[in-house]
Amino acid sequence: MIRQERNALGDPGRDRPFLLTHAETAMGTVFSLTLVPGGLPEPRVRSALGAACATLHHADAIFSTWDRQSPVSRLRRGEADLSQLPVEVAEVLQQCQAARQISGGWFDPWAMPGGVDPTGLVKGWAVDRGLAVLRQAGLAGAIVNGGGDLAAFGSPGPGQRWRVGIRHPWCADALAGVVEVEAAMATSGTYERGAHLIDPVTRAPACRAASATVTGPSLAMADALATAVAVGGDEALALVGAAEGYAAHLIRPDGSEISTDGITFVS
């Protein structure tokens, strides 16, 4: 499970803090985990890392829409109801319902072809659970990035904050900006998912945004709301901006940009 790790900042005896980084493939993407052990003994750090990665694979086993025998696939085909499935399925669907309400229906897993599909929220949910494992283990800080959607706690070092770049929607090697992240940040856009972003009203590919970024306390919700803004554009942006604790940034198809209160670019 643990494929690689390295000391990202060199000698831990220097002023710079010791960081441990690890890459884990799950849920069809690569998750990057960066840990700040603080004074935690190495065996406990490794144990926490393994447990966090296990949560990602556990989520994949439950929610994979590619695995025809996964619980969510059985639910979509009507072969099982919630009482017959792992409790995590009901938990995720409850969060999906909350995201649908906040977004005014721009995020709607029940409008997807083939039955309910919580894919737009479940990766963030899995990262939230993995990060909780790392926090409970006593690490000084950590950040978990799954395909550009990430959650963090603590800091990378004394007086520092986690800073994350947002990919430019048309220039793969450029950044649209850099944001300081205190908890969670998710980005969605047609540049990345193309026709996979479906307008729940027209059932056609979404066309109101090039890129949408949402920050907030929960990556599960930020993930879903970023999808909503990427689908609903300005209308969804206003709804997300009214949600307590969440902020959003939208790059429109014509390249113009708009942000709600609460999201600040540092560069």
pLDDT of residue 201: 77
Mean pLDDT of 147-166: 93
Mean pLDDT of 109-119: 89
Dist. CA 145–CA 133, nearest whole Å: 15
pLDDT of residue 189 exceeding 90: no
**Per-residue confidence band for 6, with pLDDT thresholds at 50, 70 and 90:** very low
pLDDT of residue 190 exceeding 80: no
End-to-end CA separation in angstroms for the chain: 36
pLDDT of residue 195: 55
Dist. CA 133–CA 152, nearest whole Å: 12
pTM value is 0.90
**Per-residue confidence band for 193, with pLDDT thresholds at 50, 70 and 90:** low
Name the average pLDDT for the chain: 90
pLDDT of residue 54 exceeding 90: yes
pLDDT of residue 147: 87
pLDDT of residue 18: 80
Domains and CATH numbers, the chain: 6-259 (3.10.520.10)
Q: What is the dihedral of CA 101, 104, 106, 109, to 10 degrees?
A: 30
pLDDT of residue 188 exceeding 70: yes
Most confident of 163-167, 199-203, 234-238, 259-263: 234-238
Take residue 192 and report the two structure tokens written for it: 């990345």
